[in-house]
Structure formats: C-alpha cells, structure tokens
Structure 1
Amino acid sequence: MPLSTCLPDSPPLPASPACERNRAPILDVLSTAFATRQHVLEIGSGTGQHAVHFAAAMPWLQWQSSDRAGQDLGLARRLADAALANAPAPLDLDVARGPWPVPAVDAARFDAAFTANTLHIMGWDAVEACFAGLDTVLADDATLVVYGPFNEGGAFTSDSNRDFDAMLRARDPHSGLRDLEAVDALAARIGLRLQDDVAMPAHNRCLVWRRRR
C-alpha cells in the first residue's frame, strides 16, 4: 500500500500542472540524450512528478532527485508512493550552499544531470554556484539537459516570456529569465559543449550539453 494512503491525516500530494503538460515533450528529448546514460542527478526536483515519470519511462537509469532541505513539495512522499527501484530517496541539495554529493571514486560520478524551470528562479550567483557544483559531480563524458525559457542575444523570444520575466522580478529582483549565451559560457567553463537546442511548447527550450575531457 502506498505510504501516503497509510497516513490518515496525510495531505494530498502537491502537483504542478506545468509538469503534467511538459513531461511528454521533455521525455522525447531525454530518451535520446540519456539513451546511453546510467546515473542521473536531477536538480530542483520539486513535486517529484518529473522524477517519477522519467524514472518509470527510462528504467535503465538510476534517477537521483534532489531539492533544498525543508522544501516540502511532496517529493519524498511521491517517490515513496511510486516505489521505483531506480528512483531512490531524494538528496538534500542547495546548489548555492551545498553540500554536493561527493563521489568516493571517479566512477561514482553522475554521467548525466537534468533540471527543469530552475535557472530563472535562482539568483545569478546561485546559477554560477550550480555549474561550479556540477563540475565536482559530473563524469568526464557527462550529459546535461536543462529545460526552461531563455533569452537569446539579450532579447526576449516572445511576449509571454517578457511578461513571465516581469512577474518573476516583481516577486524577487534576483530572479528572471537567463540569457542562453551566459548560461552556455558557464557550461563551457566546466567542459560542457552545447550539442542540441530543442524548441519546446510555450516558448521553452531543452538545451543539451555533452562534456568532453
């Protein structure tokens, strides 16, 4: 019996409508990008909807979710309910402060990482810290996939993205849509080279980097 149904006073699991809408097109990208990968670190797993869906659809992957401690969006409960052998309990990870998981040996490094709709929520200093942390945990041939809205050449790619950016900055002046070129520069510093830029629904993108060292 699922864990949440065993607890009489357990509240309903939080759910993100955006995760339900975007999981299919993202999976189309991941099925190719992660076809030869084995151990994925997801950053900012939130409600866990992506983690459960992708782990179930790609059973050859060990899908390691993570989020900040105290960010109770139902992640641990959803993973427990799903009881997938390739989706272990989430890690506590604040990309700006750590601690990042420390591989005991190089072979224990993640050969893939994924994050969705996080870079525009973080401050830029946290985005920089995120890539610095990825440098310590990714294998030399790792693949990184990032989903979300991005600016290009310093300009918004749609009116809806402009409005979304204004809403984000009104809530937190440190957040906002990131320039693709600036994020790609951070990736390049840790040996990641952009392999694919896939247009997604609602003016989002899936960016695929591969590390070559």
Structure 2
Amino acid sequence: MAPTFKFAAMSRRAAITAAALMATAAIAGCSQKSGGAAEGDMALGAAAGAKVTVVEYASVTCSHCAAWNKEVWPEFKAKYVDNNKVRFVFREFPTPPQDIAAAGFMLARCAGDDKYFDVVHAIMESQQEWMNGVPPRQSLNRIAQGAGLSQAQIETCLNDKEGVAALEKRIRAGIDAGVTGTPAFYVNDQKVVDSSLAGLSAAVDAALAK
C-alpha cells in the first residue's frame, strides 16, 4: 500500500480559514450574486455567457453533496450539460472536516483542469470508505496518485501558498454570496431549494424558455 501523505500545514491553514468563515456565514453580507462568473470557476457544458448558468456550491466532505452527485448528477448532466444547453459551474465550499475538504480541492486542481471533476467525484465517492474505517487522508492519497500525481507532487500541491490563498478567496466569495451550506444551487442567480432532478429541471426549463 502506498504511504499516505503527511498532512501539510498549508492545507490546515485553508481549513482554519474555511471554519472561521463558515462560523460567520449566517451574518455575512449577501450583496454579491451567485450566478455570474467568478475567479477560479470550474465549468462544464456551454461556454461562458450561456443563456442559462447553473451554479453548485459543494464540498467533497459533504454527504448530501455526495448523494446528489451519485443520484442526480448523471441524469442532470445528460439532460443539460452534455448537450451544452446550460453552463454548469462548480464552486468549492469546504465543510467539516475542513482540512480534508481543503486538501481534496487543492489536489483536484493540481491534477489539472481535465481531471478536476474526476478527482472531485472520486473523493465524494470515497466517503463510503471513510464510513468503513478507511482514513480520509489515505483515500485522498490514492485518488491523487490515480490522477497521476507523485508523492512529491502531492506534498508540493498541499504546500502551495498561492493555491491556499486562491482557495481562501473562493471561500470568502461564497460567503459573500450568501452561501451558508452545501449543496447550494443557483439558476441564473436564483437559488433553487429543491435540488432534485425535477426541481432543478423546472427552474432550468423556465430559464431556457425565456
């Protein structure tokens, strides 16, 4: 078995930032919109400027996010993303344990844009392993190596000051947008409470019909 990585201080710093900001989320200002383009967005489907943009704020350590990713995402993707009907934007919003979430997001970005979503989805799927006693850090290490990162690259990634600063900035942007939990969905800036396929489809179809 490959050795698990030593958990970097920089990823812990990002976790501390996430925890501190989450603690104040309930009283954060909501002046910013959620659907417009933001620095660091990871997107699939239609190009920027599409008629309909769906934004998901999620965490790789959020069980509800993992459930949505497993149960709803495949059909939603086939219905709207693969055919470029909508632009789907994924935004990182680390939830407890924040150190694992922060590390997971950093590793996903270090794996490269072409592997980002694969890594994020794999980490969400690995939550089942954690429930069965596998240390989350071991799962992250396995997934990162499977995405082509060497042990040295993993350590470099988790100690990247610029990467941590960028993640902190994305967390702050989510708080400023009024996000208080995950998963959170917005269709053209309008929050959609019903995240089922039917609920999201109703909002997306209405936006497409305008």
TM-score in terms of structure 1 length: 0.26
TM-score in terms of structure 2 length: 0.26
Q: 1 or 2 for the larger relative contact order (CA 8 Å, sep ≥6)?
A: 2
* Greater per-residue strand proportion: 1
* Greater per-residue helix proportion: 2
